[in-house]
Amino acid sequence: MPYDPMKELKRVTDYYDQDPLQKRFSAIVTGETNAGKTYLLRSARFPIHIDSFDPGGTKCLTDLIRNKKNPNGQIVADTTWETEDPFTPKAFAEWMKVTNIRLNTKYFDMFGTYCLDSLTTFGKAVMNYQLNLKDRAGEAPQHRQDYNPQKIFIENYIRKLMNLSCDFIVTGHLKEIEELKAIDAKTGIRRMEVKYRLYVTGQSVITIPLLFDELYTIIGKGNPPKREMLTDSLGTYIARSRLKRNGKLDASEEPDIRKLLKKIGLNWEDKPKLQL
């Protein structure tokens, strides 16, 4: 059968028009401890499912979380993964099993947003898992032989979750890094520059953010702090946006996901409420 370039053109353009991933929002939201990363989910598209690896991290959402006292809550917080014994690690192995079932049964289709909270503590659970596979549970990781498998585990599952029909948000802590810029020849005083980077191990700090459309950083200024969300790198913090087309986003935005989605032109409305 002869190759028809016009049919191929139509096939590619039709696929793009129907590709849900082109209309879906994915972001890594970083910030220091208590910056408001998890609290930001109040402004995401409901209903929301959170897989929490951060001990106590969802307490700021208690009034919205679905439980016996609040059966109408529109946030489902799975805190199963918050407790981990590094000498007998189970969290990541169980999470993989449950996540595969959820993906196969289209569980996430009922949600407007899925959140993995946080990448930093999730990465530790992954490391515990693969050290346990080598009968080295509780030991310190050993360079590439441990960090490379950890990175691959994280990347592979994030790629699977990228196929969700709902928005995908991952939170992450920040790590302070000091870089030597100069040493005064007379006094010996060292001039250091402080920067903040996503707190994950090894090359994951580079490869994981590349999988997401957005990389935001929440910072607070003043007392009490007035929070803002960086969508572009300013000074010591790293942030970027693939969705800043036509100047629709400023370098700093109000920490409000729905307002941001509306501003960009993506779907900002909630999905139907979870049924009892």
For the chain, the 3-state helix, strand and coil shares in percent, each to the nearest 5, are: 35, 25, 40
Q: What is the tens place of the pLDDT at every residue in 217-244?
A: 998 766 666 889 999 887 778 888 888 7
Query: pLDDT at residue 251 above 60?
Result: yes
Go through 13-31 and write b for each residue having 16 or more CB atoms within 10 A of its CB, e for each that does not. Answer: eeeeeeeeeeebbbbbbbb
Give the residue ranges of DSSP H helices in 74-135.
91-104, 119-133
Residue 260 lies in a domain: yes
Residue with tokens 């946080």: 118
CA 98 vs. chain centroid, Å, equals: 19
Residue 272 lies in a domain: no
Residue 2 lies in a domain: no
The pLDDT value given to residue 179? 62
Mean pLDDT of the chain: 85
Residue 153 lies in a domain: yes
The pLDDT value given to residue 210? 78
Residue 9 lies in a domain: no
Q: What are phi and psi of 57, to 5 degrees?
A: -70, -25
Residue 14 lies in a domain: no
Query: pLDDT at residue 97 above 90?
Result: yes
Read off the pTM. Answer: 0.86
Residue 27 lies in a domain: no
Residue with tokens 């585990």: 153
Residue 11 lies in a domain: no
Q: Is the peptide bond before 2 cis (omega within 30 degrees of 0)?
A: no
- Say if CB 48 and CB 75 are below 8 A apart: yes
Number of domains in the chain: 1
- Domain of 111 in residue numbering reads as 32-264
Q: What is the tens place of the pLDDT at every residue in 156-165?
A: 999 999 999 8
